[in-house]
């Protein structure tokens, strides 16, 4: 029995690695498994992390895009909104406890957390306006 060999495929014009990979110990099966407009190359290459540089004739890593400040701010804003929703959803238990026991401590804590998060949202909006 032959040794198992792994193959990846790159697009003949763009060099993009195809997500489909192929392993075989019978190289006669390779031709029937090459995607249209692609070329087989030896190796098990991840299409998300590499591409084939046609000029260099080799697989090269894809640079990882750095998140921009605007994207970071947008993600932080979305997370703050989710945190507020989560706290608001947790109020039902605190309301029930306040009604049954008269102790509003937990309800006030939740309200203070929501107020702080809303203040952060407002501060973020003010920073964005100042930057524009």
Q: Six-digit token pair at 80? A: 């703050």
Quick: pLDDT tens for 4-63. 899 999 999 999 999 999 999 988 999 999 999 999 999 999 998 999 999 999 999 998
> Where would I find the H helices in the chain?
69-89, 91-101, 105-131
pLDDT of 2 reads 67
Q: 54 with 38: CB under 8 angstroms? A: no
Quick: pLDDT tens for 57-84. 999 999 877 778 888 888 888 999 999 9
Q: 4 with 25: CB under 8 angstroms? A: yes
> Is residue 130 scored above 70 in pLDDT?
no
Greater confidence (122 vs 43) lies with 43
């Amino acid at each position: 029995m032959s040794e198992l060999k792994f193959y990846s495929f790159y697009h003949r014009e763009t060099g993009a690695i195809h997500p489909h990979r192929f392993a075989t110990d019978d190289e006669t099966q390779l031709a029937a498994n090459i995607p249209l407009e692609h070329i087989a190359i030896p190796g098990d290459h991840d299409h998300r992390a590499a591409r084939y540089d046609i000029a260099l004739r080799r697989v090269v890593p894809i640079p990882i895009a750095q998140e921009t400040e605007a994207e970071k701010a947008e993600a932080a804003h979305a997370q703050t909104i989710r945190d507020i929703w989560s706290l608001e959803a947790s109020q039902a238990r605190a309301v029930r406890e306040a009604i049954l026991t008269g102790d509003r401590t937990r309800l006030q804590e939740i309200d203070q957390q929501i107020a702080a998060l809303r203040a952060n949202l407002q501060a973020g909006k003010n920073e964005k306006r100042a930057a524009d």
